[in-house]
Amino acid sequence: MAKKVTMSELARLAKVDISTVSRALNDSPLVKPHTKEAILKIADEIGYTVNVAARNLRKQSSEAIGIVIPLAPGSEQTISDPFFLEMVGSVSHAASQNGYDLIVSVPQDEMKIAERRLLRSGRADGLIVIGQAGRTERLNAMSASNSNIVVWGGAHGEQNYTLVGSDNVKGGKLATSHLLSLGRKNILFLGDVSLPEVDLRYEGYVKAHNDASMAYDPDYILKLNFGGQSAFNGVLKFIDEGFVFDGIFAASDVLAMAAIHALQSRGKSIPEDVSIVGYDNIGQAQLSTPPLTTINQNITQGGAMMVDLLLAKIAGKPAPSKFTDTELIIRKSCGGVG
């Protein structure tokens, strides 16, 4: 165990007061350059590192932000979902670029606990919350009592907190229009439309049909949570019950990949028999067979946006909600009708 080396130890070695050491380390102009150099040299030699607990206590800040991933209760989705994980990676990168640490929290219980544990305890200066399923009110309350919160989710107009997300309606429309333009007529929607974001993607699905003056069957929705397994089974059942379809728009890439799988296991080929579009553009999307056409949520951009907005809030500056660039990525899981 490395014996701890404190600032007063460093001060003693440099034969100056501890306050001078503090200023020197923080590059204050109050310290004579010559003295500063000497102190920094010694600090480096003895491997001094400031004690953040003391620093945070005095400065009343933590130089850390928290990312909270509250899993939708009852959903199969786990932290192992690639979308969440990529989001953690992206936020982690953006945070460290800004010199902030990232604390990951996957609350088992109520989100209120996570807020207390991270924000009010002073552990983090701000919070990024991924997903808002059924928590709009709580998020509004949290945001009212402490404004340093940025949320990833879909814009429903009932939020008074800063929101970042893809343009879900646009994304849904892009995906569906693409399928329609390929000549697909019976498009199955995969996703639980009672979830925020997913409802907006379905709204885009409807709009695309209307814009193209095409009819859509409201029964062509498989209300699936985000788990791959339930999607696999759901699609199999849908096929086996005799429903006919030639296109699928899935509310996530994991669902889309599970659907591809289910179709293939029933002897259908993609994209000849059924064209498929996913949503998210997770890393694995381009490695699926066939590579998946999908809506790019731009997770990397989104993570950076959230961190930027959060730091702006922490600094007391305005932080308006934003969309990430939302675009269609065309790969081989879509093809025109024979």
Please tell me whether residue 257 binds a copy of itself under the rule CB under 8 A.
yes
Return the one option of DNA, a copy of itself, none that residue 19 interacts with (CB less than 5 to 8 A, by type): DNA
Which of 8, 41, 46, 122 contacts a copy of itself by CB under 8 A? 122
Exposure string of 234-250, with b = 16+ CB inside 10 Å and e = fewer, is bbbebbeeeeebbbbbb
Give the up-direction half-sphere exposure of residue 237: CA atoms within 13 A in the CB hemisphere. Answer: 11
Between CA 189 and CA 161, with CA 325 as vertex, the angle to 5 degrees is: 90
- Tell me the residue length of the chain: 338
Which of 27, 29, 53, 338 contacts a copy of itself by CB under 8 A? 53
Which of 41, 45, 46, 59 contacts DNA by CB under 7 A? 59
Please tell me whether residue 47 binds a copy of itself under the rule CB under 8 A.
yes
- How far apart, in whole angstroms, are the C-alpha atoms of residue 54 and residue 8? 13
- How far apart, in whole angstroms, are the C-alpha atoms of residue 96 and residue 281? 24
The CA-based diameter of the chain, rounded to the nearest angstrom, is 86
Q: Which is nearer to a copy of itself, 35 or 291 (CB)?
A: 291
- How far apart, in whole angstroms, are the C-alpha atoms of residue 176 and residue 202? 9
Residues 6-45 contacting DNA, CB under 7 A = 6-8, 15-20, 22-23, 25-26, 29-35
Of 126, 129, 12, 116, residue with least CA distance to 68: 129
Residues within the interface to a copy of itself (CB under 8 A): 1-2, 4, 47, 49-54, 56-57, 62, 64, 78-82, 84-86, 88-90, 92-93, 96, 101-108, 116-117, 120-123, 145-148, 228, 254, 257-258, 260-261, 264, 283-284, 286-289, 291
Residues within the interface to DNA (CB under 7 A): 4, 6-8, 15-20, 22-23, 25-26, 29-35, 50-51, 53-55, 57-60
